[in-house]
């Protein structure tokens, strides 16, 4: 499992005939989960949601499974996770039936009704919330249709106010850090590159990524927050990039070292991969509805073992993405 894993087997997920695809927007506190992905005898985010789905739809055939935009590791949080699932006509219809209070909200959209029903079950523990459920547009694929993923990382150094209410989503660091040096190091890492030095290797998976933006900012309480956006992140990439910048801020690495390590393209122990608790998946962006299917097919092809470095012209300008119509 990883804090950001987009290198699972490259399989598109077209909806089956006679089904309706639903998009779920999901938030969760990852503290007590063994990551996103379903695992036997372990509590995971996917496992909890799919168990709730099985309960809600138990009379209407095999329950649907979830396809997610980015698999998160144990302890990693999300405020903007996205997943999809496919409902049969019978399952969708059951959510909208008014008898016996099944559709107490009076929804006419199976996605909205499903989100309400899921939250009714998940609220018993309270660490998963379905922020929104909606019928997905044609061609939508939560994983392969994504243009970018955004993460944030909260870090309280020696000078920051340490609020115990934020202990589950903030990493505490024992020394004073140079935030400006960290921000400069982060900016130098952006672009289309092979990030093998910052990724745990996986057989047949590429480590070539476009890091579209990476910044550090200190808030009024002195807490340092990193914000990263990329087309996709490979195994442990976010926490490794954060760790390299922390080493620069602590004076353990020179400002140019993170780029030199990246260019060496070999896994290194020159910095620490940061703990999971400070990391949150905040948003996933998608193209407008007319380009969804094409984007999913293109991404699948680029994520295959034969993937090679694209030209710099293929990188995506973050400002254009953030302002593009239909991006969520």
Cα separation, 100 vs 313, whole angstroms: 57
Report the 10 Å Cβ neighbour count for 175: 12
Q: What are phi and psi of 195, to 5 degrees?
A: -100, 35
pLDDT of 301 over the 50 cut? yes
Encoded tokens for 235:
């195994």
Please report the pLDDT score of residue 324 as a whole number.
34
Q: Which of 73, 86, 127, 231 is catalytic?
A: 73
pLDDT of 106 over the 60 cut? no
Please report the pLDDT score of residue 188 as a whole number.
98
Please report the pLDDT score of residue 321 as a whole number.
33
Please report the pLDDT score of residue 11 as a whole number.
58
Average pLDDT over residues 308-320: 34
Dump the DSSP string for 268-315.
--SSPPPPGGGEEEEEEE---GGGHHHHHHHHHHHTSTT--PPPGGGS
Q: Are the C-beta atoms of residues 65 and 50 closer than 8 Å to each other?
A: yes
Mean pLDDT of the chain: 87
- As a whole number of Å, the CA-based R_g of the chain is 20
pLDDT of 327 over the 50 cut? no
Cα separation, 97 vs 320, whole angstroms: 43
Q: Is 83 exposed, middle or buried (0-12, 13-18, 19+ CB in 10 A)?
A: buried
Q: Are the C-beta atoms of residues 259 and 188 closer than 8 Å to each other?
A: yes
Q: What is the pLDDT of residues 38-61, one digit of tens each?
A: 999 999 999 999 999 999 999 999
Average pLDDT over residues 300-306: 59
Tell me the CATH class for 148-282.
alpha beta
Where, residue-wise, is CATH 3.30.70.660 in the chain?
A: 148-282
Task: Locate the DSSP E strands across the chain.
Answer: 19-28, 67-68, 77-88, 128-135, 148-156, 171-172, 191-194, 208-218, 224-230, 279-285
Please report the pLDDT score of residue 306 as a whole number.
39
Where, residue-wise, is CATH 3.30.70.580 in the chain?
A: 19-135
Beta bridge partners of 78: 28, 281
Coil/strand/helix, residue 218: strand
Cα separation, 37 vs 54, whole angstroms: 16
pLDDT of 318 over the 50 cut? no
Q: In this structure, are strands 148-156 and 171-172 parallel, antiparallel, or unpaired?
A: parallel
The second-level CATH assignment, the architecture, of 19-135 is 2-Layer Sandwich (3.30)
pLDDT of 104 over the 80 cut? no
> Alpha helix locations (H) across 135-189?
179-188
- 73 catalytically annotated: yes
Please report the pLDDT score of residue 307 as a whole number.
43
pTM of the model: 0.86
Q: What is the pLDDT of residues 168-227, one digit of tens each?
A: 999 999 999 999 999 999 999 999 999 999 998 788 788 999 999 999 999 999 999 999
Please report the pLDDT score of residue 320 as a whole number.
32
Query: pLDDT band at 280, cuts 50/70/90?
Result: very high
Please report the pLDDT score of residue 312 as a whole number.
31
Query: pLDDT band at 304, cuts 50/70/90?
Result: low
């Amino acid at each position: 499992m990883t804090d950001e894993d987009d290198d699972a087997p490259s399989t598109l997920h077209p909806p089956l005939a006679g089904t309706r695809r639903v998009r779920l927007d999901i938030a969760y506190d990852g503290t007590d989960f063994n990551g996103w992905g379903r695992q036997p005898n372990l509590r995971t985010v996917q496992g909890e949601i799919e168990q709730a789905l099985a309960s809600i739809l138990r009379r209407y055939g095999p329950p649907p499974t979830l396809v997610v935009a980015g698999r998160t590791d144990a302890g990693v949080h999300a405020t903007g996770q996205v997943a999809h699932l496919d409902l049969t006509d019978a399952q969708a219809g059951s959510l909208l039936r008014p008898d016996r209070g099944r559709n107490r909200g009076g929804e006419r959209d199976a996605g909205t009704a499903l989100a309400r029903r899921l939250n009714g079950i998940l609220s018993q523990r309270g660490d998963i919330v379905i922020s929104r459920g909606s019928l997905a547009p044609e061609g939508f694929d939560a994983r392969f249709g994504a243009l970018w993923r955004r993460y944030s990382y909260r870090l309280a150094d020696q000078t920051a106010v340490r609020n115990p209410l934020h202990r589950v989503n903030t990493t505490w660091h024992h020394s004073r850090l140079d935030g400006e040096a960290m921000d400069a190091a982060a900016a130098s890492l952006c672009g289309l590159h092979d990030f093998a030095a910052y990724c745990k290797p996986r057989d047949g998976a590429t480590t070539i990524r476009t890091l579209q933006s990476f910044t550090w900012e200190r808030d009024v309480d002195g807490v340092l927050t990193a914000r990263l956006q990329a087309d996709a992140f490979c195994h442990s990439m976010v926490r490794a990039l954060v760790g390299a910048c922390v080493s620069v801020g602590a004076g353990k690495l020179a400002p140019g070292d993170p780029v030199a390590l990246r260019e060496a393209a070999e896994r290194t122990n020159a910095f620490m991969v940061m703990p999971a608790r400070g990391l949150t998946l905040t948003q996933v962006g998608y193209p407008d509805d007319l380009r969804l299917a094409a984007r999913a097919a293109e991404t699948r092809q680029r994520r295959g073992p034969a993937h090679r470095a694209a030209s710099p012209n293929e990188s995506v300008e973050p400002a254009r993405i953030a302002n593009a119509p239909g991006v969520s």
